[in-house]
Amino acid sequence: MAIFNLGSINADLFYRVPHLPAPGETLAATSFARGLGGKGANMSVAAARAAARCVHIGAVGQDGAWAVQRLMEYGVYTQHIVTSDTDTGNALIAIDDAGENNIILYPGANRDIPLEHVRTALDDAGAADIFLTQNETNLQREAAEIASAKGMRVAYAAAPFDAQAVQDVLPLLDLLFLNEVEARQLQEATGLPPEALPVRDVIVTLGAEGARWHNTDTGEVRAFPAVKVTPVDTTGAGDTFTGYVLAGLDRGLPMSQAIGQAMIAAAIMVTRQGTADVIPDLRDVQDFPA
Ligand code: ADP
Ligand code: NA
């Protein structure tokens, strides 16, 4: 059993600056760091760190070999990451001394994945596998259709939120991940609250308040309180949560236990500065003081 994740891969380029640059200003950064990012890559790393076999489907540019290498080192299966002529997706992140930031996001190769490539990658997948995607690549609907036709469980994380993108895949979904704001935006767009969506399992994350799981088959709603920690950097918490839930399900855990592990993993994540490079592994989660 495996998770096939059609997802983005980004270079996160962090520039520390004395203040955010004004129009026309040239400003020297006081430090620079390059990290692995992209919501897709984050979720693949989380799933792999949570001991699932995770096959990443995506694209980088000629400049992206290091990102593929790093995904591989984290245990992600990288044979279905294609190298394209478009540059690797990247995020240019300026952070000032007060912690304010500016971000320029360039989707690059992430929005340029060939359909034939997705088809080939999913040739290896079967009904026992999970398909996952988010809204940072092209071909979300097409890939979900292929996965659904194979009888795979189809999961979607509705981020970055786009009402049309979610509605395009909604009829194909078995699992939907939303944060509180996304859940509200989807309700505004469709008129449907989470419990009325045509998706069996809807999980709404609530930041420091934890998460709610709606099983629309039984009408049951379960609330999961967050693990109490002191937040340092909340980026990547949602992606870690999603990767962990799906890895747990792929490893045969019932939903409540999968969410329980994801809750701990995401809490550890908010105590760490950084994204893909600091996602906790299953050992960190199991060793976490109860
Ligand atoms: P997103 O990052 O997608 O907006 P959330 O902010 O809802 O998602 O966070 C996802 C999950 O991360 C939450 O369900 C929770 O388990 C965990 N989390 C987020 N913030 C905190 C926090 N301050 N303390 C503990 N856990 C947190
Ligand atoms: Na973090």
Which DSSP helix (H) or strand (E) runs through 205?
Answer: strand 201-205
Among candidate residues 144, 146, 208, 139, the one with its CA nearest the CA of residue 175: 144
Mean pLDDT per 10-residue section of the chain, whose length is 290 residues: 98 96 96 96 98 98 97 98 97 91 95 98 97 98 98 98 98 98 98 97 98 96 97 93 98 98 98 93 94
Q: Among 161, 203, 241, 256, say which to mutate for ligand 1: greatest number of ligand atoms within 8 Å of CB.
A: 241
Residue type, 212: R
pLDDT for 3-52, tens place per residue? 999 999 999 999 999 999 999 999 999 999 999 999 999 999 999 999 99
Give dist(CA 6, CA 216) in Å, integer.
Answer: 26
Helices (H), the chain: 39-49, 65-73, 115-123, 140-149, 163-169, 180-190, 237-250, 255-270, 282-287
Q: What is the pLDDT of residue 273?
A: 87
Tell me, yes or no, if the pTM score tops 0.95.
yes
Instruction: Choose among 139, 171, 175: nearest CA to 157.
Output: 175
Interface predicted TM-score (ipTM) over 0.95: yes
Between vectors from CA 36 to CA 29 and to CA 250, what angle results, nearest 5°? 155
For ligand 1, residues with CB inside 6 Å are: 159, 179, 205-208, 210-211, 226-227, 229, 231, 234, 237-238, 241, 263, 266-267, 270
Looking from the CA of residue 211, the nearest atom of ligand 1 is 14
Tell me 77's DSSP state.
B
List, as ranges, residues with CB under 5 A of the ion ligand 2: 233, 236, 269, 272
Residue located nearest, by CA, to atom 10 of ligand 1: 238
**Closest ligand relative to 266 C-alpha:** 1
pLDDT at 99: 82
